[in-house]
Amino acid sequence: MDPITLVGILIAIGTTMGAMIMGGIDPVGVFFSSPDSIILVIGGTIGATLASGTMEEATGFVGVTIKAVMPPKTPDAEATIQTILEFADRARRDGLLALEDSVQSLDDEFLQRGVQMAVDGTDPEVVREILETDIAATTDRHKVGQGFFNRCVAYAPGFGVAGTVIGLIDMLNNLNDPSSLGPAIGVAFATTLWGVFLANYLFSPLANRLKTSSTAEIAYKNMVLEGVISIQAGASPRTVADRLSAYIAPSSREALEGNKSA
């Protein structure tokens, strides 16, 4: 699990609460002064989000949330490049069939699939097409999860405003009791607060976390794709290393220098 998501959210909430306390405001009293406001914003946001999506999204809500908080670990790109370079060197010296036994021991399913197709003699264009289709399908699946939280970001403030309007209407209907106006206004605007809070402190960070994880995974798969095609083409380890080094940080590229044998 990458804890930075939870840490970031807790920092944002903590600093907000701290600022309120420093200003003499009771954050618990502000946020929980009106349970019906909480129900309206959370229930309305989730309901509208589900209504605007599909049954697949609805049933996968929990899984998407878990993935946002605890994203699957992307394989180590540097270690994968080392593996690809070893395969490229062996395939160049002994032929693609020499990789047959090593392919089965790979933990990376995407890399294993690509190298296996190369070993089986699949046409390079077909290999590229199949792997690119896999990458495109992965991207589409990721967009579904991101879309769920992005719609939550859009709906939450709206339901917050709706709750405020409802509260103000109720307040106007009770103008004959001046003593109730202050608390009523506080409750009304608490609903807006909840809408903004959920959108910016929870839903938006989770949506962007999914986007960040998706970007990393897609970049990794594109790197593997280029590696597989290079192995199949019989490229030298030096050429493969030069091609794949673009996918890793400059500070990590020096480690590849010793593997650029002719």
Q: Spell out where 153-237 has E strands.
A: none
| Rounded mean pLDDT, 50-66 | 81
The 10 Å CB-count burial string (b at 16+, else e) for 164-185 is: beebeeebeeeeeeeeeeeebe
Report whether pLDDT(40) > 60: yes
Residue 2's pLDDT band (boundaries 50, 70, 90)? low
Return the sign of the alpha-carbon dihedral for residues 214, 52, 200, 36. negative
Residue 261's pLDDT band (boundaries 50, 70, 90)? very low
pLDDT digits (tens, 9 = 90+) for 8-20: 889 999 999 999 9
Q: Which residues contact 143 (CB under 8 A, 6 or more apart)?
A: 214
In the chain, pLDDT over 70 holds for what percent of residues? Answer: 93
| Rounded mean pLDDT, 139-151 | 90
**What residue type is 115 in one-letter code?**
V
What pLDDT, on a 0 to 100 scale, did the predictor assign at position 28?
A: 87
Q: Nearest CA to 90 among 124, 119, 131, 51?
A: 119
Mean pLDDT of the chain: 87
| Rounded mean pLDDT, 39-65 | 86
Q: CA–CA separation, 86 vs 84, rounded Å?
A: 5
| Rounded mean pLDDT, 24-33 | 86
Return the sign of the alpha-carbon dihedral for residues 243, 247, 250, 255. negative
First-to-last C-alpha distance (Å) of the chain: 40
Q: Which residues contact 75 (CB under 8 A, 6 or more apart)?
A: 107, 108, 220
| Rounded mean pLDDT, 108-129 | 94
What pLDDT, on a 0 to 100 scale, did the predictor assign at position 220?
A: 94
Lowest mean pLDDT among 171-185, 187-201, 225-239: 171-185
